[in-house]
Copies of this chain bind each other. A is one copy, B any other.
């Protein structure tokens, strides 16, 4: 099997999760996979074409009256095999996630303490907002009338997001406190 990039598998996976058009896929990613994956249209449409060319997906053009024309993709057996192969393949090493806050903090000796504290406050606010959206999405999934068969795995990914965010928030709190104590001690 050819080595494909992860975006290909993300799209292939979504074809098994109730998405059938490029537009569907984009919507799904922007809502449910938002906290650990994102893809732009500039990747989706060319990739769908490519998957079709390689026989991993079938297309049918829908022209239902009263609806905008759309292309419906379905995963083929070959596509399912490729997806499974990837799912079973070993993890690549952890990649370093670039973090602007840590980069700025790393050079904070050149800043006055207030600026650094503000940086951490802003980050904390952003993390708190993110945590809330996770909870909203979670509630949405739990309250669904006919839950998706994938729902339990989605909840696991949300749990991960929540826990990491909480760790970040409490780090902010403690680090702010540490810097504040010093500020007071100096005056």
User: Binary interface profile of A, 134-174, with partner B (CB < 8 Å = 1, else 0)?
Assistant: 00000000000000011001101101100110111011001
Picked from B6, B109, B175, the residue with its CB within 8 Å of the CB of A98 is B6
List residues of A (23-70) whose CB comes within 8 Å of B's CBs.
33-38
Residues of B within 8 A of A35 (CB): 96, 102
- The prevalent SS among residues of A at the interface is helix
**Contact B101 A84, beta carbon cutoff 8 Å:** no
- Count A-side interface residues using an 8 Å CB cutoff: 65
Q: How far is the CA of A59 from the CA of B35 in the complex (A)?
A: 42
Q: A163's contact among B6, B84, B171, by CB below 8 Å, is which?
A: B171
What does the 1/0 interface line of A90-112 toward B look like (CB < 8 Å)?
11111111111111111111110
Q: What are the residues of chain B within 8 A of A98 when measuring CB–CB?
A: 6, 36-38, 95
Given contacts A10-B103, A13-B106, 18 further A-B contacts (CB under 8 A): A6-B103, A9-B103, A16-B107, A16-B110, A35-B102, A37-B96, A37-B98, A38-B96, A88-B111, A91-B122, A92-B100, A94-B127, A97-B97, A102-B157, A105-B153, A108-B153, A163-B168, A166-B167
